[in-house]
Amino acid sequence: MRSLILIRLDPAAAPEGGPDDQLMKDMNELIEEMTKAGVLLDTAGLRPIEEGTRIRQAGGTQTVIDGPFTESKEIVGGYCLLQTRTNEEAVEWARRFLRVHGPEWEIGVEVRQLDGEG
Amino acid sequence: MTGADAPGHAARQAVEAAWRIEWPRLVAALTRLAGDIATAEELAQDALVAALEQWPRDGVPPNPGGWLMVTAKHRAVDRIRRDANFARKLELLGREAITAEQPVGEPDSAITDDLLRMIFTACHPVLTPPARAALTLRMVGGLTTAEIARAYLVPESTVAQRIVRAKRTIATKRIPYEVPAGPELTQRLDSVLEVIYLIFNEGYAATSGDRWVRAELCEDAVRLARILTGLLPEEPEAHGLAALLELQASRTPARSDADNGLVLLADQDRSRWNRLYIRRGFAALGRAHTLERGRGRAPGRYALQAAIAAVHAMAPTAADTDWRRIAGLYALLAERFPSPIVELNRAVAVSMVHGPGAGLDLVDKIAGSGALADYHLLHAVRGDLLERLGRAAEARAAFERAAELTGNEIERELLLRRADSGSNPAG
């Protein structure tokens, strides 16, 4: 099965200057471990939401809004696409992803199984 | 509050996940210490049982892999104390620091070495191919015997017995737990690649049963290939195999219709091919080529097959397929790794470039040599070419012969349908 891990965080509560060197190092090690375990299909961080664009459609009318979006508190900051045999396994990898973050981080993930898979 | 919120539930989930994630590394390291796979498995099992007892009570440790490794080593020491026969092993264990502070108990290179030893042992040519596949899925893929049995549609006892026998063979023949060196490495690596390839093929075109594709088994094989590229990043053919399997697996969603029927390559809805797997396949193929060039070598058999799969992947529709290029790649494959199966595939490609008559000449040459007489696809391809040449009666006979020979129900239905449609142009 494949699972999309969406990483959610509140940029206002995130440490100034983003991830420090230690976190980047730990994260790279974890990504390498996931790659070597054959479970990581794809992963990326996302550019700040200020640079994003939202397009809404209601009643057949589209509204295009460029960032920043002041009303958003928690945003998706990145994702991992995993292939595992069980959901538990995907959840544990997601927990390991969170665990490399220090106490200064307020961060969560959402583990979502892709539709149409066993 | 639902059960999912209970700490016990989370802990059980963590143990289940640890089994899957840590089992191969745990058993691989313990095999090196304990000297045999069976003892290592018992020790790992003991550690997992301990986790089931303790994690719900004390919480999941920050480093589950390290915890399990340390616990297993403690269990080993306990056993040795109880059992004088293990005295020799105590000495071995003494050399290993027993500490929870190390990340996952071992430095990364030690994990890599242990897993490589395990995969080379599990794929040792002294074992029968089914035993190699079962042992590899169990010891490297981390599957349970029940899961392997389900994947292969055989009773669990059969798989368990296969694994027990394989372990006994390894012990009695004194197969060293090591990564072969020098020219033996190349030869033994072939065996490893072949085992993973066979596992994939069993899932991709099931030789028996009523399901055409067993996607989970394909996924297991692709995962094993990815693990192997991680263990042997400098081996071009490991990447070649990974490329081939990623590219083949990209078609899985399009290979079955809503009724689980088989959809042939030409008829597949290519928008359903998995673009990410295709991209990963291309990346792995590029890596394989770069490594081969670096060694001044021509592409290996898996990289060549991956190159053929890549040509298919590049064609937006079946009609856009560059058959000339595919025929050329098969010719190269046939020259370097001659086999009747490759010849058969080449015949199909040649028929797409030079017409069914040219393809039939090649197929009849294979048939004339006596090779593949009982291989259903030889007759299926022959039927197809005869049909395209308007030789309906002969085509029908060929399709019927193919249907007789296949062990897969879905495939049989398709072949019988084709036999019928040939004799009844209105249908």
Query: Rounded to whole angstroms, what are the CA distances from B134 to B129, B131, B242?
Result: 9, 5, 20
Candidates B345, B355, B404, B411; CA nearest to B378 is B345
C-beta atoms of A38 and B219 within 8 A: no
A97 interfaces chain B, CB cutoff of 8 Å: no
Q: What is the pLDDT of residue B284?
A: 98
| pLDDT in the model for residue B97 | 46
CATH number, domain of A14, equals 3.30.70.1060
CA gap A59, A51 in Å, rounded: 27
Query: Distance (Å) from the C-alpha of residue A39 to the closest C-alpha of chain B?
Result: 7
Phi-psi region of B329 (alpha: psi -120 to 50; beta: other; left: phi over 0): alpha
Judge whether B121 and B175 are in contact, CB under 8 Å: yes
Task: To the nearest 10°, report the CA torsion of B400, B405, B408, B409.
Answer: 40
Number of separate domains in chain A: 1
- So what's the pLDDT on residue B86? 61
Report yes or no on A21 lying in a domain.
yes
CB–CB contact B215 A93 (8 Å): no
* pLDDT in the model for residue B99: 43
Q: How confident is the model at residue B33 (pLDDT cuts 50, 70, 90)?
A: confident
Q: Which two tokens stand for residue A5?
A: 């891990």
Residue B123 lies in a domain: yes
Q: Note whether residue B399 is domain-resident.
A: no
B20 to A84: CB separation less than 8 angstroms, yes or no: yes
**Contact residues for B77 (Cβ-Cβ < 8 A; gap 6+):** B90, B93, B98
Range of the domain at B86: 5-104
Q: How confident is the model at residue A23, as a pLDDT?
A: 92
pLDDT digits (tens, 9 = 90+) for B61-101: 888 888 999 999 888 888 777 776 666 555 555 555 444 44
B61 occurs within a structural domain? yes
Domain assignment present for residue A101? The answer is yes
Residue B302 domain-assigned?
no
Which residue would you say has higher pLDDT here, B204 or B246? B246
pLDDT of A104 strictly over 60: yes
Looking at beta carbons, which residues of chain B come within 8 Å of A88? 13-14, 16-17, 20
Assess if residue A118 is contained within a domain: no
Contacts of A93 in chain B (CB under 8 A): 17, 21
Mean pLDDT value across residues B151-175: 93
As a whole-number percent, the residues of chain B with pLDDT over 70 amount to: 89
Q: Smallest Cβ distance to A83: which of B16, B219, B253?
A: B219
Is B118 part of any domain?
A: yes
Give the model's pLDDT for residue B425: 45
Report d(CA B147, CA B124) in Å as an integer. Answer: 22
Alpha carbon distance B68, B53 (integer Å): 13
pLDDT over threshold 90, residue B257: no
Q: Find, in chain A, the residue whose alpha carbon is nearest to that of B15.
A: A88
Task: Name the pairing type of β-strands A107-113 and A2-9.
Answer: antiparallel
Specify the higher pLDDT residue, B301 or B7: B301
For residue A46, being part of any structural domain is answered with: yes
Which range of residues forms the domain containing residue A28?
2-113
pLDDT per residue as tens digits for the range B208-222? 566 666 888 999 999
Chain B touched by A24 (CB under 8 Å): no
Which residues of chain B are within 8 Å of residue A36 when distances are taken between CB atoms? 112, 227, 230-231
Closest C-alpha among B20, B290, B195, B10 to residue A84 = B20
Does the pLDDT value for residue B423 go beyond 60?
no
Q: Is A118 on the interface with B (CB under 8 A)?
A: yes
Highest mean pLDDT among A9-13, B208-212, B393-397: B393-397
Q: How far is CA B197 from CA A6, B285, B301, B305, in A?
A: 33, 16, 12, 12
Condensed to tens digits (0 to 9), the pLDDT of residues B91-148 reads 555 555 444 444 444 556 777 889 999 999 999 999 999 999 999 999 999 999 999 9
Domain assignment present for residue B320? The answer is: no
Q: Is there a domain that residue B380 lies in?
A: no
Please check whether residues B205 and B178 belong to one and the same domain.
Answer: yes
Q: Position of tokens 């008829």?
A: B267
**Contact between A90 and A79 (Cβ < 8 Å):** no
Confidence (pLDDT) at B109: 74
Q: Give Cα B352 to chain centroid, integer Å.
A: 30
Summarised one tens digit per residue, pLDDT across range B266-279 is 999 999 999 999 99
B230 Cα to chain A: minimum distance (Å): 5
Residue B318 pLDDT class (50, 70, 90 cuts): very high
Interface size, chain A vs chain B, as Cβ–Cβ contacts under 8 Å:
59
Kindly tell me if the per-residue pLDDT of B426 is higher than 50: no
- Kindly state whether residues B185 and B119 are assigned to the same domain: yes
Domain boundary among B207, B232, B257: B232
Largest CA distance in chain A: 48
Q: Examine the domain organization and report whether B160 and B79 are in the same domain.
A: no
Q: Please report which helix (H) or strand (E) contains residue A94, including its range.
A: helix A87-99
Given a cut of 70, whether residue B43 has pLDDT beyond it is: yes
Assigned domain for A73 exists: yes
- Per-residue confidence band for A108, with pLDDT thresholds at 50, 70 and 90: very high
Q: How confident is the model at residue B34 (pLDDT cuts 50, 70, 90)?
A: confident
Q: Give me the DSSP letters along B49-92.
A: HHHHHHHHHH---S-HHHHHHHHHHHHHHHHHHH-GGGHHHHHH
Same domain? B120 vs B226: yes
pLDDT tens-digit series, residues B334-351:
999 999 999 999 999 999
Q: Are B214 and B206 in contact (CB under 8 A)?
A: yes
Confidence of residue B10 (pLDDT cuts 50, 70, 90): confident
Residues with Cβ within 8 Å of B142's Cβ and at least 6 positions away in sequence, in order, are A85, B19, B20, B21, B23, B24
Above 60 in pLDDT, residue B27? Answer: yes
Q: How many Å apart are CA B310 and CA A108, to the nearest integer?
A: 38
Task: State whether B227 and A37 contact (CB < 8 Å).
Answer: yes
With 80 as the cut, is the pLDDT of residue B205 above it? no
The number of domains in chain B is: 2
Neighbours of B389 (CB within 10 A): 16
**Chain B residues within 8 angstroms (CB to CB) of chain A:** 13-14, 16-18, 20-21, 62, 64, 112, 142-143, 147, 215-216, 219-220, 222-227, 230-231, 253, 276, 280
Chain centroid to CA B35: how far? 27
What is the sign of the dihedral through the CA atoms of B230, B235, B236 and B241? Answer: negative
The answer to whether B302 and B240 have CB atoms below 8 angstroms apart is yes
B295 by DSSP, 3-state: which? Answer: coil
**A68 preceded by a cis bond (ω within 30 of 0):** yes
Residues B225 and B116 in one domain: yes
Is B100 in the same domain as B161? no
